Amino acid sequence: MFPVLLDLTDRRTVVIGGGAVGARKVSALLAAGAAVCVVDPRSALSLPPDVVHIGEAYRAEHLEGAALAFACATPEVNARVVADAKKRGVWVNAASSPHEGDFTLPAVVRRGEFALAVSTGGASPALARRVRERLEAEYDAAFGEWVRVLAEVRVEVLARVLDEDRRRELLDGFADWSWLERLRTEGAGPVREAMLARL
Ligand SMILES: C[C@@]1(CC(=O)O)C2=NC(=C\c3[nH]c(c(CCC(=O)O)c3CC(=O)O)Cc3[nH]c(c(CC(=O)O)c3CCC(=O)O)/C=C3\N/C(=C\2)[C@@H](CCC(=O)O)[C@]3(C)CC(=O)O)/[C@H]1CCC(=O)O
Ligand SMILES: NC(=O)c1ccc[n+]([C@@H]2O[C@H](COP(=O)([O-])OP(=O)(O)OC[C@H]3O[C@@H](n4cnc5c(N)ncnc54)[C@H](O)[C@@H]3O)[C@@H](O)[C@H]2O)c1
């Protein structure tokens, strides 16, 4: 398996089957800024407002223009989705038989641009969830703030510090955990100023 981070902003993604598993995929896709379409003949689905619901039984044409497809209906329907997607060169996630798809989903901790993804390769999704829960406590909101400040300060370092050794020394120094502790007590603004004062 090859871990990557995909930019799905405004890309068409199609989830076939809007049950419990499909709904999890929909939330993850919306969090990534994707354009999400759910194919499910059930009329009583409660989907988030930005999701397009196609209230039909799945047909291969639903995959048209999709960057990714998620087969989350019954195993029989999913098998068709996987075969059709492969024929069309659309990458597909297969909820009922993961190893037949092209990719699986990890459990994710998100803090702005910072992301931790946990996979057990299908060995134990329940364990992936527990590891995520542990990491969520450790990598809290303050950690996300730190990453945001680091992104802002890094732009300044790259623009203003031309000596490469000095740059590296500064950027490495700003990634020291002591800054996180300082951010917890003083807040993001003062930490940003303190970093910039070192340039
Ligand atoms: C990460 C997460 C994201 C997501 O849902 O997409 C995810 N499963 C999550 C939760 C979860 N899923 C299941 C349970 C019940 C307990 C258990 O079975 O352990 C729990 C735990 C819970 O709900 O607490 C049941 C289950 N899952 C799969 C099967 C089919 C099979 O194994 O064949 C079955 C049995 C179906 C059945 O028997 O009916 C398969 C997959 N699930 C994966 C991902 C992929 C591998 C990830 C990995 O191993 O690291 C993979 C391979 C395919 C895929 O990409 O979808 C999400 C974490 C959300 C979070 O962070 O809390
Ligand atoms: N990956 C995982 O984490 C995981 C966990 C549990 C179950 N599963 C598997 O995922 C699948 C879905 O599980 P669920 O709990 O969400 O089931 P569910 O019954 O809640 O949802 C399935 C949905 O598929 C829809 N559907 C049925 N036929 C369809 C068709 N022809 N076209 C489009 N949609 C159709 C149904 O209307 C329903 O809304 C199952 O195959 C199950 O084995 C995967």
Q: Which two tokens stand for residue 153?
A: 């300060």
Is the predicted pLDDT of residue 85 greater than 90, yes or no?
yes
Per-residue pLDDT of 131-167, as tens digits, reads: 999 999 999 999 999 999 999 999 999 999 999 999 9
Nearest CA among 53, 41, 124 for reference residue 77: 41
CA 147 to chain CA mean position, Å: 16
ipTM of the shown complex: 0.90
Q: Distance between CA atoms of 81 and 95, rounded to whole angstroms?
A: 11
Nearest CA among 69, 77, 123 for reference residue 93: 69
Is the predicted pLDDT of residue 79 greater than 90, yes or no?
yes
Is 122 touching ligand 1 by the criterion CB < 6 Å? Answer: yes
Counting from 1 in the atom list of ligand 2, the atom nearest the Cα of 77 is: 31
Is the predicted pLDDT of residue 9 greater than 90, yes or no?
yes
Per-residue pLDDT of 20-38, as tens digits, reads: 999 999 999 999 999 999 9
- Identify the sign of the CA torsion 1, 106, 78, 89: negative
* Position 113 confidence tier, pLDDT thresholds 50, 70, 90: confident
Is the predicted pLDDT of residue 120 greater than 90, yes or no?
yes
Average pLDDT, integer, range 47-75: 97
Please give the share of the chain, as a percent, with pLDDT higher than 70. 100
Nearest CA among 38, 62, 66 for reference residue 52: 38
Closest C-alpha to ligand 1, atom 42: 125
Please tell me the pTM assigned to this model. 0.90
Biggest alpha carbon–alpha carbon distance for the chain: 62
Counting from 1 in the atom list of ligand 1, the atom nearest the Cα of 108 is: 61
CA 180 to ligand 2 center in whole angstroms: 42
Distances (CA, A) of 8 to 28, 55, 71: 11, 24, 18
**109: which DSSP letter?**
E
